[in-house]
Amino acid sequence: MKDQKYLEMAMDQAKKGLGQTWQNPLVGAVIVKNDQVLAKGYHRRFGEKHAEIDAISHLKNEKEATGATIYVTLEPCSHQGKTPPCVNKIIELGFKRVVIGQIDPNPQVSGKSVERMKQHGIQVTNLDNSKSLNPAYNFYFKNGRPLITLKYAMSLDGKINQKSGYRTKLTGKYTFKDTQKLRLMNQAILIGENTLKIDDPKLTVRTNPLFPPYRVVLIHDSRELNLQQSIFKSEGPTYILTNYKNEQHLPENVHVVVDETWTPKKIIDFLTKQGIQSLLIEGGSHIHADFVKSGLVDQLIAYVAPKLIGGSGLPSVFGQGISEMLDFKIEKISQLGSDLKVFAKRVY
Ligand SMILES: NC(=O)c1ccc[n+]([C@@H]2O[C@H](COP(=O)([O-])OP(=O)(O)OC[C@H]3O[C@@H](n4cnc5c(N)ncnc54)[C@H](OP(=O)(O)O)[C@@H]3O)[C@@H](O)[C@H]2O)c1
């Protein structure tokens, strides 16, 4: 019971790093001795101290760690990355017990630290209950590709616009806020050519996080890019996946990547190579259909606006041929002002 309570405290610490840790996981730590919390810490930013070291730095004196228990939401690291291995410090300071929330799925670490700590006589308990903190991190190492979320706003009759070639504003301010949070939680956002041209989105997170998601645009001929579009006037890494090279002078943050064809599988392989752990697909209808057809959708978020569009408006997913049906489980339905949000996870 007590272990559970302190690990939950560590999980609350971990959440404070949301949006700041980039491709590192959210991790929190709590140091306890004689049922007293001596220090708390979390991984604040990509490249900075890990949670265990942050918590240790909040002890009055490092000697307090001797004989104490450290609760940490993820197995401590055992490799030299941007910071030295945390496991060394845990051993050096004489912690008696380490309670972790999960084994690190990163093969550089996975299980190795637990083994080393045990060899040094440290008691290790894995409660295996903190995976929900880092769904994309866990997914990426398990499946060798990013967690893919399809997201759209639609009317009650399943349409995402009123008329071909036009943008239709469907949802309200609460949904806008929610979609901003969604962008913050993803490391890349993908849109198709028509959405770029018609909607002219910025694809930014308005709170200007330290590590904004990569903006990825699929466009046939990058020579047709209109540099007056909003996406080229804002900062943040931007990738144009195209079939033809662009000879124009582009802003430094815009990278053109040429391939003869960009299938969903190739796009995902490209992002995997960049270490991208989560991808949000933000339209339009044809890009959605391509990913559905490839079976490359793991989660779905549909915002449903209380409107009927009728006519020839584009459905939320529309493509060629017949796709295999994908099964989902609806995890949550919530009300955002007058809109509904449906969150569903793929059933494999
Ligand atoms: N309500 C919402 O949530 C929402 C979100 C986003 C967009 N929208 C709306 O959706 C509409 C646009 O959707 P859409 O379905 O027409 O277009 P889209 O999905 O944005 O873009 C599709 C186009 O991208 C190009 N493309 C696709 N795959 C490609 C590939 N592998 N390589 C190179 N180019 C590729 C294709 O051009 P070709 O056809 O020339 O091959 C394709 O027609 C707009 O009206 C927008 O306002 C609504």
How is 51-62 classified by DSSP, letter by letter? HHHHHHHTSSSG
Q: Are residues 171 and 34 in the same domain?
A: no
Q: Are residues 129 and 168 in the same domain?
A: no
- State yes or no: 171 annotated in a binding site: no
Q: Which domain holds residue 228?
A: 138-346
Query: Which tokens is 209 given?
Result: 């996080």
Among residues of the chain, what percentage have pLDDT more than 90?
91
- CA–CA separation, 166 vs 127, rounded Å? 51
Residue at which a domain ends, from 133, 153, 183: 133
- CA–CA separation, 189 vs 183, rounded Å? 7
Q: Are residues 270 and 207 in the same domain?
A: yes
Residue at which a domain ends, from 133, 164, 188: 133
Summarised one tens digit per residue, pLDDT across range 265-308 is 999 999 999 999 999 999 999 999 999 999 999 999 999 999 99
- State yes or no: 120 annotated in a binding site: no
- CA–CA separation, 343 vs 309, rounded Å? 23
- CA–CA separation, 149 vs 279, rounded Å? 6
Q: Are residues 103 and 31 in the same domain?
A: yes
Query: Which tokens is 12 given?
Result: 């609350």
- CA–CA separation, 322 vs 59, rounded Å? 61
Residue with tokens 């993820």: 74
Q: Residue type for 216, please?
A: V
The runs of H, that is alpha helices, within 127-280 are 135-143, 173-184, 193-199, 264-273
Ligand 1 centre distance from Cα of residue 251 (Å): 24
Q: Are residues 121 and 147 in the same domain?
A: no
Active site residue 52: yes
Ligand 1 lined by 169 (C-beta under 6 Å): no
Q: Are residues 176 and 59 in the same domain?
A: no
DSSP 184: H
For the chain, report the end-to-end CA distance as a whole number of angstroms: 34
Ligand 1 pocket test, candidate residues 285, 291, 307, 339, most atoms within 8 A of CB: 285
Q: Are residues 222 and 307 in the same domain?
A: yes
For residue 99, give the CATH number of its domain: 3.40.140.10
Q: Are residues 111 and 153 in the same domain?
A: no
Residue at which a domain ends, from 96, 112, 133: 133
Q: Are residues 91 and 192 in the same domain?
A: no
CA count, 13 A, side-chain hemisphere, 69: 18
Ligand 1 lined by 264 (C-beta under 6 Å): no
The residue whose CA has the least distance to atom 13 of ligand 1 is 284
Ligand 1 pocket test, candidate residues 164, 176, 178, 195, most atoms within 8 A of CB: 195
Ligand 1 centre distance from Cα of residue 284 (Å): 4
Domain count within the chain: 2
Residue with tokens 């960049």: 274
pTM of the predicted structure, to 2 decimals: 0.95
Summarised one tens digit per residue, pLDDT across range 40-89 is 999 999 999 999 999 999 999 999 999 999 999 999 998 877 777 899 99
Q: Residue type for 20, please?
A: Q
- State yes or no: 115 annotated in a binding site: no
The residue-averaged pLDDT of 306-313 equals 96
